[in-house]
Amino acid sequence: MEYRKLGKSDLELSTITYGAFAIGGTMWGGNEKQNSIDAIHASLDHGISTIDTAPFYGFGLSEELIGEAIKGKDRSKIQILNKFGLVWDGSNHGKGEHFFDAEDNGKTLPIYKYAAKENVIKELEESLKRLGTDYIDLLQLHWPDASTPIEETMEALEILIGQGKIRAAGVSNYNLDQMKTANETTALSSNQLAYSMLNRGIADDIIPYAIDNEIAIIAYSPLERGLLTGKYFKDATLKANDHRNGYFGQFDAEKVKGFLAAIQPIADEKNASLSQLVLRWTTLQPGITIVLAGARNASQAIDNAKAMEITFKRDEIDFINEQLNKISL
């Protein structure tokens, strides 16, 4: 495994980071507890020392599973990246921005973006309890909240850094202007953004700014939630309450299928899976610091870690990029 420095912070994170959205179950058709814990253990055993989660992932369940999985382990060797700012339990008292409605055990819950100072501190304390730890390595605003000044949210993060409850401050899903404002208020360590072979829009403006200002980019959905593994073009199926039933519809399935067929020989030559090839390619893109990869069992976690063993020749990278440019999604 390779480890990379997160922006100007003192944090060193595993280049492949365990993404814990799916193990929360919500929007992913449920989860299996022991498989989830096994996936975390396998990740740690194979060099993936960094775990990214959020309170919204399973309405606290993802955090609780992580807390159970790391109990008794050397916390100093594990980096926890967490988030705040999505509220579902009414504790925002009608404040913030309504985002969407989510389903939880047959109930519909309105989700709000809410990043006021008091909520940042409140959510952090709740997360610490669920995770069974006394600090978070990187705390990130999950989604921009237009109802709260960016400066107020960043001030809360500065307070938590001063208290030693978090080691670094980050954001997620911020556009360029929002990044600039946040970086003027605090020492912004990172921005977590959607980035994949099929979604490279941030390369035009956000990545150059991040490079110039030593801000890390944490790439989420590098496999487009499983689409780029190729298995959904074969015999894999999704449960009815899996959000990917709608999510995959934004892509031209035939173009994606053709692209994966074109790069399959490279994966075969390296005795690698398509998902490993895609993950490794993503880690090598300019400005991309950390790449999130989910795993719902130990086998998937080990495969993710082994993606870092892949080496590319220059002509292989050029071929992959040429194929990507052809599909122009």
Q: Which domains are delineated in the chain?
A: 3-327 (3.20.20.100)
Q: Give percent of the chain above pLDDT 70.
A: 92
Give the separation between CA 150 and CA 258, rounded to whole angstroms.
43
Let me know: does 148 contact 118? Beta carbons within 8 Å. Answer: no
Query: What pLDDT is stored for residue 182 in this prediction?
Result: 97
Give the separation between CA 206 and CA 175, rounded to whole angstroms.
7
- pLDDT classification of 141: cutoffs 50, 70, 90: very high
How confident is the model over 267-286, as a mean pLDDT? 97
pTM of the model: 0.93
- pLDDT classification of 260: cutoffs 50, 70, 90: very high
pLDDT at 252 over 90: no
Which residue in 18, 57, 174, 232 is the catalytic one? 57
Cα 101 to its chain centre, rounded Å, is: 21
Query: What pLDDT is stored for residue 147 in this prediction?
Result: 96
Q: What is the DSSP track for 170-208? A: EEES--HHHHHHHHHHS-EEEEEEE-BTTB-GGGTTHHH
pLDDT tens by residue, 291-304: 999 999 999 999 99
pLDDT tens by residue, 184-224: 999 999 999 999 999 999 999 999 999 999 999 999 999 98
- What's the Cα-to-Cα distance from 248 to each of 93, 254, 256, rounded to whole Å? 35, 12, 11
Instruction: Tell me the longest C-alpha to C-alpha distance in the chain.
Output: 57
Query: What pLDDT is stored for residue 47 in this prediction?
Result: 98
> Which of 267, 202, 193, 201 lies closest to 229, judged by CA?
267
Asked about 135 being catalytic, the answer comes back as no
How confident is the model over 74-78, as a mean pLDDT? 97
pLDDT at 329 over 60: no
